Structure 1
Amino acid sequence: MIFKHLIRVLLCFIILTSAGQSALALSSTDIGLTVDLLNQDPDPVKPGEVLEVSFSVQNTGSEEVKNVIVELVPEYPFNKMSGQTSTINIGTLGKRYVDERSKTVKFKILVDNNINAGQYPLEVLVYEQGKKNSLSISEEFLIDVDSESNAEIESISLEKLVPGKKTNISFVIRNVGNSPLKNAMFSWESTNDLILPVGSSNVKYINFIDVQDTVTVDFQVLSNINTIPGLYKLDMKLTYDDVEELQTITQAGTVENQKRKTIESKAGIYIGGTTDFDIVFIEQTMEGDYSFSVSNIGNNKASSVTVSVPEQEGWSIKDGSNSAVLGTLQKGDYTIADFSIIPDNYNEFLPLKFQISYTSSDGERETQDRELSVFASEPVELLQHQSAQSSGSNKGLFPALIVLLIVGFVIYKKKKQ
């Protein structure tokens, strides 16, 4: 009897111990609930975009679980969106082998705008309402983030280049991607080396370009004086390091992968265009006209050249037109332009303004202003006319003087007698 009693006590102890272990099992993190990542949209997601994640929550236990809470814990680079919840009550999950033992839940979060590509952990908690601290499970899922960098040559400061004239050209480079650019190298070259850098090479180095930032690189360039006017191609190349930081839960920690990327583009630069003029006073004709020499001292041909004297103080147009048509002037050519103009004052230097208009080699109408200091002298014809008038007056005066002398002599004689 005593032996049977001992056996009964031992069996009770075993049953109580098993029940205690079951209770401990239910109070641990293994309460029969599991969570899996079904989908991320978009996949991969880009910095600054809205990410939608879908999870499947299942009850694999032998008892149903009521008031199941699914909580998203967004940490950098994920942020909670305004108007979106991070905690959802999915209700009751039936025990295993029951149709209603699993449910799907979705969340929307915002990805930080300034992150590199990689995999970033997103934590999800699942627990029974009111038992978060004692009966909850925690899972972390890796979200793929694509932070591919990209750059563009945003603008070029120069459209036309005058042969033989040193000119500054600026290239503006913008980082239009979502990760910084490092160790960038920019270079350019023209067709048949018609455009060459002066004082430096055609390569510039840039250490760092942050997201959406721009960097300007400058060159002094020159084209040969004998270059035929026309549109020429400019090839540009930009190479840089695209640094992607892959943040994963590994013993190695953060791993940096560097990718050398190259962007090639081209642009057109017109060589030719404008030219330059010089105007010099030559002489004043007997009629009072003023003659000037107009020279094309630039490096391009000028077509349909006209020179005009605009309305101005100190001068007026005597007769005829105030402009002269000179036609086409090749570089180095000159011709004569005459103007019938009258100064307000004579025998002094007066400023005289000109406007020189022409069609450049690229078809654009251009105008240049010039000013000379011209000595305004009286015309030869006017001087001769004044001399003739003075001579005629003297001829009429001479007989009168003779008559006066005779009359005076007669009066003198009579008084003496």
Structure 2
Amino acid sequence: MKKFSLLKILLLYLVFICLGAGTALASNGNIQSSFLEVDLTKQNPDAARPGEPVELTVSIQNVGNADLKDIVVTVNPKYPFSKISGEDLTKKVSYLNARQDDDDAAVLKFKLMTDANASEGTYDIDITTTAKESGSSSNVITITKTIQLEVRGKEYAQIVTINKASIDLAKEEPLEFIITNTGNSPLKNMVISWKDPKGVILPVYSDNTKYIKYLAAGDSVTVSYSVMADVNADPGLYTLNVNLSFEDYNSNEKNIATTAGLFVGGETDFDVSFSESDQGEISLSVANVGNNMAYSVKVSVPDQNGYRVSGSSSTIVGNLEKGDYTIASFNVASTQGVGGTESSAGTSGEAARAREKDENVTSKGSNPLKVQIEYTDARGERVTVDKEVKLETTAGSMTAQGRARPGAAGNSSGFSSYLVYIVLIAVAGAGLIIYRKKRQTEGEKQSENKKPEDQKHGSGTGSGTIRD
């Protein structure tokens, strides 16, 4: 009986000690007699987006045995989240009854801004809550709850560059689009397409649509086409409507529409051929063999070894439409001697006579004549084209190789003058010889006619003497 009483007394003593300790702990706010539960019940959007706000819904619930008052809830943002101007990060609840269920909890909303350069991932945010027990001004409860917010990288693509600004008419040319994922999340199932509303520029060998299955953040991809512009199109700047679609994180399709400019038309080409030569003047046929018109065309014979231009070395022939041609003439003399050697202006008389002697000898190794064509293209830019015309040269004369006209002398002006003098002297000499022969013949005839008369006169004299 005594043992039982002693045991009972000991147990009761321990119970009183525990109750005393519990009261002391309760006064420090460290037991659940006054306890708060803080939870993140909703995040909008479900994943925060870089450069966009995110809204947090927080529930505050008193599950303790004591009523609470002056509840203060503060959100402490850290990178990549920050305060939005005009939005409070601290909110208050005046009173919370004890032993609340979920329906009685206080609901608070906070807004934060997500940094535009935030990377995809999960980030921690602390929510601090303070409260006082009702009926006690000194017992303050403080609870810090750490929550996690998901950041979804921004899905965005950009068509950074197009590889060229112009294409030629009726000519197959490559066209490349460089697409870059400028967001923070990978892109998938991308589709790029483009269209010229006027139908001048069209793809060849494929349609205008290309597919990209996956593009990581920060990566670029090149999409290539072969395109051609209508040969009958007017030169000018044409618009390309470019569309880029892709799937976002929630498999929703997004579209990015943009425009680009592409100039159609530009440079052209020429064919230059020998036309004819006459007395040191050569004529060149210049044809526009390209697909674009050439404006303000100028044809020139530049300074070069083997040829000398007297007079103007260039001529303006005006505009040449595609397929048109014109004739440009120049006074050009060959300074190339026999065998392709070049003679100087001060050639000695002996060398000149040697050249005259070999005037009918053709120089097979002569240099081609260089011709320069300048014109303004459809973009308004001045373009220079260099051409060469292969000629066969004789001493001071020029003909197109294999295309010499029968009987065409083509002599230079100096040699022509010299030849004229020789012909005149020959003609004068021949005339003088004929004249002298004619006089000699007439003299002989006169002598023959006088002999009989002299004989008659002699006999008459004699007879007359006899009569005397």
Task: Determine if the TM-score, normalized by the shorter chain, exceeds 0.5.
Answer: yes
Aligned partner of 2:253 in structure 1 is 260
Which amino acid letter does the alignment assign opposite residue 190 of structure 2? Answer: A
3-state SS of paired residue (2:368): strand
TM norm structure 1: 0.65
Picking from 326, 336, 353, the partner of 2:370 is 353
TM norm structure 2: 0.58
* CA distance in 2 between partners of 1:22 and 1:352 (Å): 116
Residue 419 of structure 2 is aligned to residue 387 of structure 1 = yes
Could you give the per-residue CA deviations for residues 218-258 of structure 1, whole angstroms, max 9, x where no partner exists? 11111121112222221111111223xxxxxxxxxxxxx22
The equivalences for 1:90-239 within 5 A come to 113-115=118-120, 120-122=123-125, 139-143=145-149, 145=151, 147-239=153-245
Aligned partner of 2:90 in structure 1 is none
RMSD: 5.0
Could you give the per-residue CA deviations for residues 106-147 of structure 1, whole angstroms, max 9, x where no partner exists? xxx99985416xx65546799xxxxxxxxx976331335353
* CA distance in 2 between partners of 1:270 and 1:13 (Å): 96
- Give unpaired runs (5+ residues) of structure 2: 59-63, 67-73, 81-95, 97-113, 130-141, 338-362, 398-410, 433-468
Which amino acid letter does the alignment assign opposite residue 344 of structure 1? Answer: T
Larger Rg: 2
Is the Cα–Cα contact under 8 Å of residues 29 and 137 in structure 1 kept in the other structure?
no
Assess, with a 3 A threshold, how the Cα gap between structure 1 residues 336 and 124 changes in structure 2: closer, same or farther.
same
* CA distance in 1 between partners of 2:376 and 2:77 (Å): 70
Is the Cα–Cα contact under 8 Å of residues 242 and 259 in structure 1 kept in the other structure?
yes
Q: More helix per residue: 1 or 2? A: 2
Deviation at 1:16, TM superposition (A): 2.4
* CA distance in 2 between partners of 1:372 and 1:198 (Å): 37
Which amino acid letter does the alignment assign opposite residue 120 of structure 2? Answer: I
Assess, with a 3 A threshold, how the Cα gap between structure 1 residues 269 and 110 changes in structure 2: closer, same or farther.
closer
The equivalences for 1:185-334 within 5 A come to 185-243=191-249, 257-286=250-279, 288-319=280-311, 321-334=312-325
Q: More strand per residue: 1 or 2? A: 1
Percent same amino acid among aligned pairs? 35
3-state SS of paired residue (1:274): coil
Assess, with a 3 A threshold, how the Cα gap between structure 1 residues 387 and 341 changes in structure 2: closer, same or farther.
closer
Which amino acid letter does the alignment assign opposite residue 272 of structure 2? Answer: I
* CA distance in 2 between partners of 1:5 and 1:209 (Å): 81
The count of residues paired between Structure 1 and Structure 2 equals: 342
* CA distance in 1 between partners of 2:156 and 2:227 (Å): 28
Deviates more, 1:192-201 or 1:346-355: 346-355
* CA distance in 1 between partners of 2:304 and 2:391 (Å): 14
Deviation at 1:269, TM superposition (A): 1.7
Aligned partner of 2:388 in structure 1 is 371
The equivalences for 1:329-340 within 5 A come to 329-340=320-331
Could you give the per-residue CA deviations for residues 68-118 of structure 1, whole angstroms, max 9, x where no partner exists? xx9x999xxx79xxxxxxxxxxxxxxxx9xxxxxxxxxxxx99985416xx
Deviation at 1:304, TM superposition (A): 1.1
* CA distance in 2 between partners of 1:17 and 1:374 (Å): 123
3-state SS of paired residue (1:349): coil
* CA distance in 2 between partners of 1:393 and 1:143 (Å): 115
- Give unpaired runs (5+ residues) of structure 1: 63-69, 80-95, 97-108, 127-135, 244-256, 400-417
